[in-house]
Amino acid sequence: MVRLGAMALSVDELQADTAHMQHADGTTQQPDPRRLRPLRHLLGFLRTYRWRVAAAAIALVVAAGSVLAVGQALRLVVDHGFLGDDPAQLDRLLALTLGVILVMAAASAVRFYLVSWIGERVAADLRKAVFDHVTRQEPAFFELNGVGEIQSRLTTDTSVLQTILGSSFSIALRNMLLLVGAVAMLFVTSPRLTALVLVGLPVVVIPILFFGRRVRRLSRSSQDRVADVGSFAGETLHAIRTVQAFGHEEADRRRFEGHVDEALATAMNRIRQRAWLVGMAMGLAFAAVGIILWQGGHDVLAGRMSAGELSAFVFYAVLAAGATGAISEVSGELFRAAGATERLMELLAAEPAIQTPAHPVALARPARGAVSLERVQFAYPARPTDPVLRDLDLAVAPSERVALVGPSGAGKSTLFALLLRFYDPQGGRVCFDGRDVRQVDPAALRAHIGLVAQEPTLFTGTAWENIRYGRQDADDAAVRRAADAAHCTEFLERLPKGFGTPLGPGGVQLSGGQRQRIAIARAILRNPALLLLDEATSNLDADSEARIQAALEDLMRNRTSLVIAHRLATVQSADRIVVMHAGRIEAQGTHAQLLERSPLYAHLAALQFNRQTEPGMRVASGV
């Protein structure tokens, strides 16, 4: 995998040039839309293949030089072949011309292969580097920027750069060499006629610069609109059952059409600008060739130049005009590539808010699983003025089983997120085995934690792969033991290929309860010091829940466990129940103690066990 440190520019330069993505602090910086400067960031990726780049450059120079040499061969053929009286001389000159053409063809083939290879490799390296970097970002980064937008940059924008590096960029360089070489040969052939060409050159270049800048701005905007299309489509298709259940298909189709029409309108505007760019450049360039032919013809008739020199001059003039037109056409692609590069570099420049300390503190081995939160204050980045946890203090001893209960929005799941260090608190500290988690390597911390979420996440693949996600080095026997403990084996072996049956995206072929049991098997396989269960049995039928509860009892034995539960019947066996409300701990104790001490817990228990609450008792809504 490409290392980010191999890039030519520092992260600070990337941030100064391209930072635009939103971070946990909500700040943004707008990119400079005026130049092709973002393309220089690709040099770091090209440096890895410097020898192939050098070989491609040599082949490019040889191919361009061969094209320029054809003009001189044409002059000799006309003056000393067609207008001479020696057929053998004509044969030799034509053979020389053919040899030059063969060299040009061979060099062009080598250039095409090398440049295409480099384009494919750099695009692949970019995808790896961007994916590697974005997977290091904290969850808040994805909440603020959107997974669909990031996915579009990772796929669409890298494909744009693949095309540019594998084709358009070398075409632009080739034509720039041809343009410079053709102008030089024009001077050698006829300085007088060359002056006419140079007079008309600004008329061609100015529209390229003017329209090129507009094309780049529109290219960036067009790519953003396409990202919106992909993001909306992905969100809708991911929730297709909800869409259809609420009869929202027609409304979502209209909204999708709106996004598509927006992207189309921006793309059409970009195409119009490119059409003006190409049309004006080509028209002006070849108009100049017509003027040269008129003036050069009079010079031949007056004896100021030979027919061969005029033929060579026209050849070079056409070559320069064609190169100018090609550059004008490719420049639009280069501006588009600059926009794509800018968007990718924004991702690479994004610094994670959750960083590994320069000198991380080592955790005890084996980990004990002790947890403490000391006067913790926390608000989500998207709602900085709306605290979710307020001066929260909680200590959990090793092997203690603690249940967290309370109304929705009380901060229970947020507490889990802080323990996993998905976020850092704005005040106070979170400790694991007596170590502040901000002083510990996040990967080392999470290696000791097992999570079973309320909505289990399965990945495209087999049961083997999904259960082994908990511990990648586990052998098949260990995976089977975990599946047995989570009561997965029976239904998995009924599948066509047993444990090796593809489960589909997100485990779509399984029921909610079956997916949950696989998630529990994954946690069992991980064998963590701290177990986090977020309403882990909510999707199970009564029979499955009874079996899973038994499995969870075994899993939680001699292991620190924090359990979020809305059904109080599932947490009565906990060592301690913590009642949370509005970001604070309202009370804690056993089930019997809380029925007497906590009006909120008594109210929740009464609701669930069909009891009557005391008059006037009510539960305030949480955030």
- Tell me the average pLDDT across 279-284: 71
Residue by residue, what is the 3-state secondary structure of 147-158? HHHHHHHHHHHH
DSSP β-bridge partners for residue 435? 432
Query: In this predicted model, which residue has the larger pLDDT, 497 or 568?
Result: 497
Q: For residues 99 and 607, what is the distance between their CA atoms, to the nearest angstrom?
A: 93
Those residues with Cβ within 8 angstroms of residue 141's Cβ, 6 or more apart along the chain or in another chain: 21, 22, 23, 24, 134, 350, 352, 353
Q: For residues 41 and 29, what is the distance between their CA atoms, to the nearest angstrom?
A: 18
User: What are the φ and ψ backbone dihedral angles of 32, each rounded to 5 degrees?
Assistant: -80, 115
Name the band, by pLDDT with cuts 50, 70 and 90, for residue 536. Answer: low
SS3 assignment, position 551: helix
| pLDDT above 90 (res 237) | no
Which pLDDT value is given to residue 389?
Answer: 92
| pLDDT above 70 (res 387) | yes
Rg, C-alpha atoms of the chain: 34
Which pLDDT value is given to residue 273?
Answer: 75
DSSP β-bridge partners for residue 376? 392
Q: Which amino acid is at 544?
A: S
**Tens digits of residue pLDDT in 333-363:** 777 777 777 778 888 888 888 888 888 888 8
The alpha-helical segments, DSSP class H, found in 391-447 are: 412-419, 442-446
**Tens digits of residue pLDDT in 104-122:** 888 888 888 888 888 888 8
User: What are the φ and ψ backbone dihedral angles of 475, each rounded to 5 degrees?
Assistant: -85, 175
> Within the chain, which residue ranges are assigned CATH 1.20.1560.10?
4-349
Which pLDDT value is given to residue 469?
Answer: 84
Which pLDDT value is given to residue 290?
Answer: 74
Which pLDDT value is given to residue 126?
Answer: 83
Which pLDDT value is given to residue 419?
Answer: 92
> Within the chain, which residue ranges are assigned CATH 3.40.50.300?
364-448+562-623
Name the band, by pLDDT with cuts 50, 70 and 90, for residue 87. Answer: low
Which pLDDT value is given to residue 371?
Answer: 92
- Tell me the average pLDDT across 375-392: 88
Q: For residues 4 and 45, what is the distance between their CA atoms, to the nearest angstrom?
A: 9
Task: Assess contact for 458 and 507: CB atoms under 8 A.
Answer: yes
| pLDDT above 70 (res 209) | no
CA atoms within 13 A on the CB side of 387: 14
Which pLDDT value is given to residue 430?
Answer: 93
**Tens digits of residue pLDDT in 405-438:** 888 888 888 999 999 998 999 999 999 998 999 9
Name the band, by pLDDT with cuts 50, 70 and 90, for residue 394. Answer: very high
| pLDDT above 60 (res 22) | no
| pLDDT above 90 (res 377) | yes
Which pLDDT value is given to residue 13?
Answer: 42
Give, for 267, the enclosing helix (H) or strand (E). helix 249-301
> Which span out of 119-123, 174-178, 390-394 was modeled with the highest average pLDDT?
390-394
Which pLDDT value is given to residue 617?
Answer: 39
DSSP structure string for 122-155: HHHHHHHHHHHHHTTS-HHHHHHH-HHHHHHIII
Q: For residues 81 and 457, what is the distance between their CA atoms, to the nearest angstrom?
A: 78
- For Cα atoms 148, 153, 156, give the angle at the middle one, nearest 5 degrees: 100
- Beta-strand pair 427-432/401-405: unpaired
Which pLDDT value is given to residue 255?
Answer: 84
Which pLDDT value is given to residue 461?
Answer: 83
| pLDDT above 60 (res 32) | no
Q: For residues 430 and 373, what is the distance between their CA atoms, to the nearest angstrom?
A: 5
DSSP structure string for 291-359: HHHHHHHHHHHTTSS-HHHHHHHHHHHHHHHHHHHHHHHHHHHHHHHHHHHHHHHHHHHPPPSS---SS
Q: Which amino acid is at 222?
A: S
SS3 assignment, position 428: strand
Q: For residues 37 and 86, what is the distance between their CA atoms, to the nearest angstrom?
A: 56
Q: Which amino acid is at 294?
A: W
When mean pLDDT is compared across 238-242, 245-249, 502-506, 582-586, the lowest value belongs to 238-242
When mean pLDDT is compared across 3-12, 221-230, 250-259, 337-346, the lowest value belongs to 3-12
Name the band, by pLDDT with cuts 50, 70 and 90, for residue 385. Answer: confident
Quote the pTM value: 0.66
Assigned token pair, 502:
């593809």
Assigned token pair, 92:
């030799």
Task: Assess contact for 417 and 139: CB atoms under 8 A.
Answer: yes
Q: For residues 571 and 294, what is the distance between their CA atoms, to the nearest angstrom?
A: 96
- Tell me the average pLDDT across 145-158: 76
| pLDDT above 70 (res 203) | no
Name the band, by pLDDT with cuts 50, 70 and 90, for residue 2. Answer: very low
- Other CB atoms within 10 A of residue 390 CB: 15
Which pLDDT value is given to residue 18?
Answer: 44
**Tens digits of residue pLDDT in 449-484:** 888 887 778 888 888 988 888 888 888 899 898 888
Name residue, tokens 């177990």.
Answer: 531
- Tell me the average pLDDT across 90-100: 75
Which pLDDT value is given to residue 610?
Answer: 54
Q: For residues 408 and 619, what is the distance between their CA atoms, to the nearest angstrom?
A: 11
Q: What is the mean pLDDT of the chain?
A: 77
Q: For residues 401 and 560, what is the distance between their CA atoms, to the nearest angstrom?
A: 6
| pLDDT above 70 (res 7) | no
The CATH number of the structural domain formed by 4-349 is 1.20.1560.10
User: What are the φ and ψ backbone dihedral angles of 464, each rounded to 5 degrees?
Assistant: -55, -50
For 152-190, letters b (16+ CB in 10 Å) and e give bbbeebbebbbbbbbbbbbbbbbbbbbbebbbebbeebb
> Which span out of 8-12, 321-325, 350-354, 612-616 was modeled with the highest average pLDDT?
350-354
Whether the bond between 366 and the residue before it is cis, its omega within 30 degrees of 0, is yes
Name the band, by pLDDT with cuts 50, 70 and 90, for residue 3. Answer: very low
Which pLDDT value is given to residue 396?
Answer: 92
Query: In this predicted model, which residue has the larger pLDDT, 272 or 215?
Result: 272
DSSP β-bridge partners for residue 405? 579
| pLDDT above 80 (res 447) | yes
Which pLDDT value is given to residue 623?
Answer: 30
Give, for 586, the enclosing helix (H) or strand (E). strand 584-589
Q: Name the percent of the chain lying above pLDDT 70.
A: 79
| pLDDT above 80 (res 533) | yes
Which pLDDT value is given to residue 66?
Answer: 80
| pLDDT above 80 (res 391) | yes
Q: For residues 101 and 169, what is the distance between their CA atoms, to the nearest angstrom?
A: 23
CATH class of the structural domain 364-448+562-623: alpha beta
CA atoms within 13 A on the CB side of 559: 22
